[in-house]
Amino acid sequence: MQPAIYVDVLLAVNLFINYFLLLAAAKFLGVPKKQWRLVLGAALGAAYSLAILLPAIPVILNMAVKIVLSASIVWVAFPIKSWKMFFKSMGCFYAMNFAFAGFMLAFWYFIGPPGLVIKNSVVYLSISPIILILSTVVCYVVLRIVFRVIGKQENQSTLCTLQITMDHKTVSCTARIDTGNSLVEPFSHAPVAVVEYEILQSILDMAMQEAMRSPIGAGTAQPPVTAGIRMIPFHSIAGQGVLPAFRPDECIVDCGKQKMKANQVYIAVCRQKIGSGEFSALLNPDLLTQELL
């Protein structure tokens, strides 16, 4: 006989499980995570759990609904900047779900709790909140241990959100803290953040945009002189040259647990893509030593 299903327990169980699955995926991907986005994504998954109350859904339809639902959850929970990042996040989220499903299968096989129901790809556990919390935390810890064993460490400390304000206009992007970026402005020795031109275009005036569009690199002519622009020499594997840079009105670096206001910083403009869609800026680590908010 199938046990009674309580809607409040159903929603709570799936909200709790989905949150930890998203948290594990975020740590594995090394993306900046916002708690409200993770909770919202988990709530979306929990809402779907009500499908357990419906008659059995055909396999093909159930699969299609799950794919759409998963895409929606990933889109809500993670800062998606490109299709590549979207599919990578989807794959990671599915991997977390498969790992959890394996854990639940083992739980079913060895313990066989009478209050466990799986229908329409939805899990219902009629157990006490304490056991639910302990079992989910154990599963999460096991996943974290597996990540460490296979050498996939949390990369959260290297990714952050960069917010730049100029002339009362603000843009933001995902940035990587690059220990290999030691660029500084030659006169003030202020640390430099390298950002893609497409990110900055909307906050630059026409004169600065024209200067920034000039081809710069080894063997190229200097761009027209524009007030507020500094030239930052750089050396890389691809060669050497200079990057045009400006000093923003405000620059905020949000690393999740810490948020910093960079009072001394120059933003260098890069015409090429920097992070293949995963990030759009490279930060000098010295930026993290400035004023905490």
Determine the Cα–Cα distance for residues 118 and 57; give it in Å rounded to an integer.
13
Give the closest residue to 20 by CA, choosing from 93, 87, 126, 88. 93
Beta-carbon count within 10 A of 166 CB: 21
Say which residues have a Cβ less than 8 Å from residue 280's Cβ, sequence separation at least 6. Answer: 81, 173, 174, 175, 195, 196, 198, 199, 274
Q: Given this model, what pLDDT does residue 151 score? A: 46
How far apart are the C-alpha atoms of 21 and 96, rounded to whole Å?
6
Spell out the per-residue pLDDT of the chain, length 293, in tens.
Answer: 455 666 777 777 778 888 888 887 877 776 666 788 888 988 888 888 777 677 777 778 878 888 888 888 888 888 776 777 788 888 888 888 777 777 666 666 666 555 566 655 566 656 666 766 676 677 667 766 765 655 444 444 578 889 999 988 999 998 888 877 788 888 888 899 999 988 998 888 777 777 666 544 434 444 444 557 888 888 765 567 888 899 999 999 988 767 888 888 999 988 888 866 678 899 988 887 766 65
Query: Is the entire prediction scored with pTM above 0.95?
Result: no
Contacts of 86 (CB under 8 A, 6+ apart): 71, 74, 75, 80
pLDDT in tens, 210-227: 766 654 443 444 444 455
